[in-house]
Amino acid sequence: MKAIRFLLPVIGLCLAVSPDSTLLSMQKNEPAIAVIPKPLSMKKESGTFNVSRTTVVAVDEGVPELRRLADDLSLRLRTATGFPVPVVSKSGSNAIRLAIVSDSELGDEGYRLSVSKKAVVIEAGKPAGVFYGVQTLLQLLPPDVEKSAVTAGPTWSIPCVRIEDKPRFPWRGMHLDVGRHFFSKDSVKRYIDMMASYKMNTFHWHLTEDQGWRIEIKKYPRLTSVSAWRRESNGDGIPHGGFYSRDEVREVVQYAKDRFITVVPEIEMPGHSQAALAGYPELSCSGGPFKVGTDWGVINDVFCAGNEKTFKFLEDVIDEVTGLFPGAFLHIGGDECPKLRWSNCKRCQDRIAGLGLKNEDELQSYFIKRIEGMLNARGKRLVGWDEILEGGLAPNATVMSWRGIKGGIEAAKSGHDVVMTPTSYCYFDYYQGAVGEPAAMGGFLPIDSVYAYEPVPDVLTAEEAHHILGAQGNVWTEWIPDYRHAEYMATTRMMALSEVVWSAKSRRNFEDFLRRIIPHYQRLSNRDINYRVPTPLGVGGRKIILRDTVAAITSPVPGATIYYTLDGSDPTPGSAIYSSPIAINGDRVLKASLQFPGSRMSNPITTAFLTVDPALNGLRFEYFEGGWDFLPDLRIITPVKTGVTYDIGLGGVPTRGRNYGLVFKGTMTLPADGEYTFFLLSDDGSKLFIDGKEFINNDGLHGSVEVSSKASFARGMHSIEVRYFQRGGGQDLGISIEGPGFAKQLLPPRLLSLQ
């Protein structure tokens, strides 16, 4: 797991959207076409094919796998429509025909789909192509086809269309970390179903971590009796754990195979191995004892690279794991391996000297190359995070480039295959919106950024570009304690990524995608999949007002209804519908949600309007520019700008770029004698001074970190000063207070004055 934690910046997503002809029907009253990922070519024709009681699924009985696909399609249609939809061997009228044809242009995963008024034909060179053609066909049907019970309402019409389609990349991946939080076998199957619907074909199953070992290994039972369980997660006081039996693994692998998804297991080494060491401490440099990790981060204790027992253990594990996963790849992690223990370990240092290695980086390379030999001997290929480049890349290794694209470029130029998965485009544990989102890893990755990703770097030649196998979305789960939350983080961004890795680059258009995704919200709802609905624009956060004002709300995509309240309650379909700017008189709490037809409501976005009196309230601010690692003495630096603001934060002061400093000065009036706790949140460094004395030190380069301090104060006025610097990455600053008779809250602006 990647241990870098980033801040959620305060950014709004504003989108201008124009009509999209691919969504709108050519003829009135005909079904709209909204296929994701977008096909390579599509021609809409007049008319529809109607699924009825006489409809059949026709298939060549000579291809068993095709018969299985026909049976699955028949069951899906019977479940939703109530029609018999039998599978037959002869194709007549009113038939949906599945066929294998000889056509090298389609490759292993391409298909042709032809819908006329009398018949539907899906042709492909291989069964995988037929499967993807069926996924497209299901998206052409009304959304009620996704329901698990008969629906009497819709006309089961499919628009007449001719589609020829095949993927751009062979690796269309989604990752799921079950090491931090364990998800059941059935939840993993749901994840695979979601992937299959949008033509993703590689499931990266992250099975081991510092915080948990999730796969049964018969030869090492303590991996499941000890290593699969941790007493808490980041101080929550709740035990976490679980593992998959060998039979459960086989079941998941077969389930994925039936949906043409290859499962790539990840067994972390040499780092991120504390859970394994808790069960088998003799495999470490120090001998332990160890406990399964309870905190997020990079842990110094790793597999000992100088101990032959380590390699015997890992070879035994590889033996059992490769027997369970028939795919070509096994992921060995290889990332974030601290070298501290190796540098102080006699066995590791003897290994370095005996092999004539230069340093611990080359020792890691030796470790990885030795593991690759084990995998190659078993007919498997090694894939690892881009740290496996350090010290020299194993001869046949495939690199996952996560720390930007540099590692991927280096690997491709040296002739190695690459899967692109940079944090800035592919980490789906990052926040999806600037406000109103559940707790996340940090960072900010809205759906438009995912869609904008281009996996092939411009600097590669055409020959080098062939080594880019594709791209992958990653879901790390330290801040995702249950599967429903994982679905919420992954679903819509996976849909955007599916178009990046499947559709032709020239066919991609984000405005078009935004319109096509709208009908899919209802499909996802019908499948009980948790997903993010775009949130309203123009709202969110705390707004300081000097007089009565109005609140204007917009939708990022046309076609939504916006509901709002002014009493602090969450909007419902029975709340007021937004039609024009809302009058705000005095202090108000505005909450707004939007909803598309058939979708769930978006998360409510809250705006707290707080009135202040310019004659009584306010703070002086000073703004500086420069790049620092720690707070400088801003008292001796000339500010670029000074002025008055009414809140301590980044919303009310002018800033430029991502390297600057701020000072806020004024007085604070406390309402009563007693004990007060102040909370200073910032990314990067900050300090709080009360009555001229340093009260909280939250200095340094770091992500969004909150530090608190408690003391007794007298009722009345106290001087307050906050110093802050920002350098690159995320930006955040806020101060909260808890005191006699009131709970923790953002420091009220009406307590602040210039005096």
Single-letter amino acid, residue 401: S
Task: Assess whether pLDDT exceeds 80 at residue 343.
Answer: yes
Nearest residue to 560 via CA among 527, 524, 515, 590: 515
Residue 210's pLDDT is 97
Residue 24's pLDDT is 37
| Same domain, yes or no: 115 and 154 | yes
Q: DSSP letter at 570? A: P
Confidence of residue 31 (pLDDT cuts 50, 70, 90): low
Q: Torsions phi, psi of 198, nearest 5?
A: -115, 25
Residue 236's pLDDT is 86
C-alpha to C-alpha distance for 473 and 426, rounded to whole angstroms: 5
C-alpha to C-alpha distance for 476 and 473, rounded to whole angstroms: 10
CA distances in angstroms from 447 to 400, 442, 498, 540, listed in the order given: 22, 15, 12, 19
| Same domain, yes or no: 598 and 626 | no
In a domain, residue 354? The reply is yes
What average pLDDT does this structure show over 414-422? 97
Q: Torsions phi, psi of 290, nearest 5?
A: -135, 155
Task: Assess whether pLDDT exceeds 90 at residue 71.
Answer: yes
- 37: preceding bond cis by omega (within 30 degrees): yes
Confidence of residue 668 (pLDDT cuts 50, 70, 90): very high
C-alpha to C-alpha distance for 35 and 517, rounded to whole angstroms: 8
Rg (CA), the chain: 29
Domain of 746, CATH number, reads 2.60.120.1560
Confidence of residue 30 (pLDDT cuts 50, 70, 90): low
Confidence of residue 407 (pLDDT cuts 50, 70, 90): very high
In a domain, residue 35? The reply is no
Residue 63's pLDDT is 85
**CA angle, 194 as apex, 160 and 426 as ends, to 5°?**
110
Domain of 154, CATH number, reads 3.30.379.10
C-alpha to C-alpha distance for 519 and 660, rounded to whole angstroms: 44
In a domain, residue 101? The reply is yes
What average pLDDT does this structure show over 301-326? 98
DSSP string, 423-447: HHHHBTTEESSSSS----SEEE--H
Q: Which of the listed residues 104, 131, 165 is the one where a domain comes to its end?
A: 165
| Same domain, yes or no: 594 and 625 | no
In a domain, residue 4? The reply is no
DSSP string, 232-295: -STT----EE--B-HHHHHHHHHHHHHTT-EEEEEEEESSS-HHHHHH-GGGBSS--------S
C-alpha to C-alpha distance for 634 and 675, rounded to whole angstroms: 30
Confidence of residue 22 (pLDDT cuts 50, 70, 90): very low
Q: What is the dihedral of CA 438, 444, 450, 455, to 10 degrees?
A: -130
What average pLDDT does this structure show over 112-119? 97
The number of angstroms, rounded, from the C-alpha of 528 to the middle of its chain's C-alpha atoms is: 19
| Same domain, yes or no: 192 and 332 | yes
Task: Assess whether pLDDT exceeds 60 at residue 1.
Answer: no
Q: What is the sign of the dihedral through the CA atoms of 334, 335, 341 and 342?
A: positive
Q: Which of 233-242, 247-256, 321-330 has the lowest mean pLDDT?
A: 233-242
C-alpha to C-alpha distance for 228 and 205, rounded to whole angstroms: 16
In a domain, residue 124? The reply is yes
Q: Torsions phi, psi of 292, nearest 5?
A: -55, 135
Task: Assess whether pLDDT exceeds 90 at residue 657.
Answer: no
Pairing of strands 202-206, 171-177: parallel
Average pLDDT, the chain: 93
Q: In what order do the strands lie in the sheet with 605-611?
A: 541-545, 605-611, 588-595, 561-565, 576-577
Token pair recorded at residue 738: 């808890």
| Same domain, yes or no: 628 and 561 | no
Run of H or E residues at 617: none
Q: What is the largest CA-CA distance in the chain?
A: 90
Tell the residue number behind the tokens 């405005």, with chain if given.
511
DSSP string, 86-137: -EESS--SSEEEEEE---GGGTTT-EEEEE-SSEEEEEESSHHHHHHHHHHH
| Same domain, yes or no: 127 and 218 | no
Domain tally, the chain: 4
DSSP string, 173-233: EEEEE-SSS---HHHHHHHHHHHHHTT--EEEEE-EETTEE-B--TT-THHHHTTTEES-S
* Percent of the chain clearing pLDDT 90 (strictly above): 87
Nearest residue to 355 via CA among 375, 338, 376, 369: 369
| Same domain, yes or no: 357 and 249 | yes
Token pair recorded at residue 599: 């979708």
| Same domain, yes or no: 464 and 565 | no
Bridge partners, 30 (sequence order): none
In a domain, residue 431? The reply is yes
Residue 2's pLDDT is 45
Task: Assess whether pLDDT exceeds 70 at residue 373.
Answer: yes
Q: Which of the listed residues 595, 611, 627 is the one where a domain comes to its end?
A: 611
| Same domain, yes or no: 219 and 342 | yes
**CA angle, 530 as apex, 257 and 185 as ends, to 5°?**
40
What average pLDDT does this structure show over 529-549? 93
| Same domain, yes or no: 460 and 590 | no
Bridge partners, 727 (sequence order): 659
Q: Torsions phi, psi of 312, nearest 5?
A: -65, -45
Condensed to tens digits (0 to 9), the pLDDT of residues 704-746 reads 889 999 999 999 999 999 999 999 877 889 999 999 999 999 9
| Same domain, yes or no: 238 and 380 | yes
Confidence of residue 235 (pLDDT cuts 50, 70, 90): confident
Specify whether the backbone of 199 is left (phi greater than 0), alpha (psi in -120 to 50) or beta. left
Token pair recorded at residue 117: 């008024």
* Domain encompassing residue 513: 171-526
Domain of 323, CATH number, reads 3.20.20.80
Nearest residue to 118 via CA among 25, 46, 50: 50
| Same domain, yes or no: 212 and 149 | no
What average pLDDT does this structure show over 386-399? 93
pTM: 0.90
Condensed to tens digits (0 to 9), the pLDDT of residues 579-622 reads 999 999 999 999 999 999 999 999 999 999 999 999 999 999 99
Note whether 499 and 38 are within 8 A (CB).
yes
C-alpha to C-alpha distance for 539 and 535, rounded to whole angstroms: 9
Domain of 578, CATH number, reads 2.60.40
Q: Which of 28-42, 234-248, 418-432, 697-711 has the lowest mean pLDDT?
A: 28-42
Q: Which of the listed residues 560, 592, 611 is the one where a domain comes to its end?
A: 611
Task: Assess whether pLDDT exceeds 60 at residue 3.
Answer: no
Token pair recorded at residue 670: 């406390």
Condensed to tens digits (0 to 9), the pLDDT of residues 154-168 reads 789 999 999 999 999
Single-letter amino acid, residue 725: F
Q: Torsions phi, psi of 343, nearest 5?
A: -70, -20
C-alpha to C-alpha distance for 352 and 365, rounded to whole angstroms: 11
Task: Assess whether pLDDT exceeds 70 at residue 19.
Answer: no
In a domain, residue 380? The reply is yes
**CA angle, 265 as apex, 259 and 270 as ends, to 5°?**
165
* More confident position, 3 or 268: 268
In a domain, residue 24? The reply is no
